[in-house]
Structure formats: C-alpha cells, structure tokens
Amino acid sequence: MNNEDFWDKYLESIKRKIFKLVERKKQNNEKFLLCDLHIHSNHSSDGTQSLEEIICETQKLGFEIIALTDHDSVSIFNDLYNLIKQNKLPEFPIIIPGIEQTVSFKEYQTMCHILKYFINPKSTEILGDIDKLNKSYFTRAQIQFERIEESPVLNEIFNEYNISVSYEEFVNWLKENNLLPDYAPLVEFLAQKFEQKNVPTSKIYELVKKFNNLDECEERKHLRDLRFEYLDKKYEGVNVQNNRRFLLSILGVRGVDDAQFKGYKSSGSLSVDEYGQVSIYDLNKEGLTVFAHPDHLKLNLIPKIKNCAGGFVALELNFKSQQEFFNEIRQEAKKENLALTVGSDKHKQDEPVYENLEFYKIPINNFEKFIKKLKK
C-alpha cells in the first residue's frame, strides 16, 4: 500500500544499498560516485520528463545515484510506487526521494529554494508544508495580476495588440491544464496570448528597458540594469522569440519586488517574494537539508540559517549556476563544515546538461559527509 510505512521501508532499503555501494567503492579504491541529486520530472510546474525517461537516460549514462526533487510536489513518487510494485525498477540508479521546497527568507531578499533528501513522501510534515505553499501560490497570483494591471509595459502591449487577461481566466486555464499558479504556468499563459497576436518578444524587451530608464526609483532601476546586462550577454545571438525563460527574466526580474520599494509607483514586476509561503525558519525537519544553488553574493547568510530545517548538511553546486563562483561556494562549505552536492537541475529531455559527466562525480569522502546523519 502506498502509505507512510511503505516509504519508510523503501528509505531503509536504499540507505542500505547506498552504504554497501560506498563501502564497495572504498574497498576497490574507487574515489568517486556518479550522482545527479537535482532532477525535475513532469510533476514539477516547469518540468516535462517522465519518470521512465529520467531512469532510462541516467541508467544509460551510468549514474549510480539520482534524486527526484520536484518543485513543492511529491506526486512523482506515486509513479515510482507503481514501478516498484510492477518490479520494473532497475537496480541502478538508486533513486532518492527528495523535494525542492520554496521558502520565504527575508534576509535573502527573495524566495529561497531548499533541497530535502531521503524524505517520506507521505509524511504529514512534508504534505503540510506543500499544502500551505500551494494555497500561498494563489495569493501570489492575485498580487501578480494586480501588478499586470499596473504594468506600463504590458498595458502598452495589450492596448496595441488588443489582448485581455484576467485572474479569473488564468485560474480557469490552470484548472483545464491541471496546474498550480507557479511562475512557469503564468509565463506560459501570457506567452500563449502573445503568440496568438504575433507579439515580438524583442519588442517586449525594448519596452521593459524603456520604462526602466524612466523609473524614478534609482535602486530598482540599477538592479534591473544589472540583470539586463547579464541577459544581453547570455542571450547574445540567440533567438529569444517565445523563449519562456527569457520572458520570465524580463517581466519578473528575480529579487526585484515592487513591495520592497515603498513610496514609488509600481513597475508591474511579476516578481513577488512574500506571499504567505513557509518561512525557512519554520520548514520541516525531514530528511537531509541542502541549500539549492546558493547565490555567491549571499553566502555570508549561511551561518544564520545552517541550523534551520533540521540543520543543513551541504551546499549545492548546480550545473546551471555560474560556475566561476563555485570556488566561493566550496570555501564557504569548508568554513561551515558542510558537504557539497552536485545536481543538473534538469527539467526537460533536451537540456544539454550531461555533456560533461565529470561534473557529476562526487568524491566518496564528500558523499559520506553528506549522508553522515543517516547513520545516526
């Protein structure tokens, strides 16, 4: 039966397998484990990979351990349960049940992602946090549609191309597509509207820059300018038409929430940091806790939170992060006596994240540090 007892037994079984694997590696004088500890499935709001596709690809590439870490969801483990019951689960890769939880962290000045490993997907604590967050998503969506009404960029586009949107229409669209109001579905909803009217993404970007130059709030203007410089370099020579990630980056610059800039007119930013989600200080203590893709500029905050959520055991080196800052993350991990994990943060089948498998080799001694708490 797919219940808490079943998953307790599954967790004990994979722990034994992992301990044996580590010991065998050490006896054979092997130095590394091939792991991807950050993978999203089609149960994430922005993921498209099925469980079978994830297993097939990682097995072919020789991964020994992987972790399924969907955004604020554990429903993928219903699929895993079915595979187990049908005796279709291969010996490798060993699959660790995990989750990437979105939390509020005021000092971080934006939302924060925390990875949890070796969780019981039927745990009342995990499910309670997910339920609270899911409800808060609708609060955020209401704020975002208020911002859409205030956005000079979107108002100009909507007027010129005769586009209309509403919160009620968005909620109905979510129901039709069985989605929650996360950032990715919101951008998809807007992108479909733009595509129907052949709105050039480049034109939206030009307007974003135009109205940012007119912003009376110098701090907000400066933060956006820095982001635009980064985007111009990242997408140089790339066709951004209908690119959802790019569209989100310009309409909701991460960490630039209008609520932070009191006394100034709303810019219509879709980035909302506080909307009633779980605080990092109240996050459940299940499993092993890891800081996902830490921002190198805010590593100094690690000491403040390292004892939250049951205590952090590691910092993540994320394939999609700016790898020139990895040394800073390594230094902070060493200073705080934390392990390092690696993850692709893969969401889609065609993402080229496995071209360099060396990245995913975790030194045995570091992996032992990561799982040390499991032996207590």
Residue 323: which pLDDT band, with cuts at 50, 70 and 90?
confident
The per-residue pLDDT for range 266-297, each reduced to its tens digit, is 999 999 988 888 888 899 999 999 999 987 76
User: In the numeric block, which tokens belong to residue 200?
Assistant: 């050039």
Q: Is 104 helix (H, G, I), strand (E, B) or coil?
A: strand
| Separation CA 33–CA 15 (nearest Å) | 15
For residue 359, give every residue at least 6 positions away whose Cβ sits within 8 Å of its Cβ, in sequence order, or none.
317, 319, 342
Q: Is the pTM of this model over 0.75?
A: yes
| Structure-derived torsion over alpha carbons of residues 143, 246, 278, 290, reported in degrees to the nearest 10 | -170
Residue 47: which pLDDT band, with cuts at 50, 70 and 90?
confident
Greatest mean pLDDT range, 43-52, 104-113, 115-124, 247-256: 115-124
* pLDDT at site 324: 80
Give residue 195's identity as a one-letter amino acid code: E
Q: What is the mean pLDDT of the chain?
A: 93
- What's the start-to-end Cα distance of the chain, in Å? 28
The radius of gyration of the chain from alpha carbons, rounded to an integer in Å, stands at 21
Question: Is 270 exposed, middle or buried, given 0-12, 13-18 or 19+ CB atoms closer than 10 A?
Answer: buried
**Residue 328 or 106, more confident:** 328
User: In the numeric block, which tokens belong to residue 79?
Assistant: 């699929």
| Separation CA 220–CA 286 (nearest Å) | 37
Beta bridge partners of 100: 71, 115
Query: Where do the domains of the chain lie, and which CATH numbers do they carry?
Result: 4-123+289-375 (3.20.20.140), 133-260 (no CATH)
Phi (first) and psi of residue 328, to 5 degrees:
-65, -40
* pLDDT at site 221: 95
Alpha-carbon distances of 331 from 45, 108, 112, 316, 335, rounded to whole Å: 33, 19, 21, 12, 6
**Residue 157 or 106, more confident:** 157
* pLDDT at site 297: 67
User: In the numeric block, which tokens belong to residue 93?
Assistant: 């890769």
* pLDDT at site 130: 92
The per-residue pLDDT for range 132-176, each reduced to its tens digit, is 988 999 999 999 999 999 999 999 999 999 999 999 999 999 999
| Separation CA 97–CA 95 (nearest Å) | 6
Under a CB-based contact definition with an 8 Å cutoff, are residues 96 and 117 in contact? yes
Q: Looking at residues 97-114, what average pLDDT do you find?
A: 84
Percentage of the chain exceeding pLDDT 90: 78
Beta bridge partners of 104: 279
The per-residue pLDDT for range 204-233, each reduced to its tens digit, is 999 999 999 999 999 999 999 999 999 999
Phi (first) and psi of residue 291, to 5 degrees:
-80, 115
* pLDDT at site 112: 83
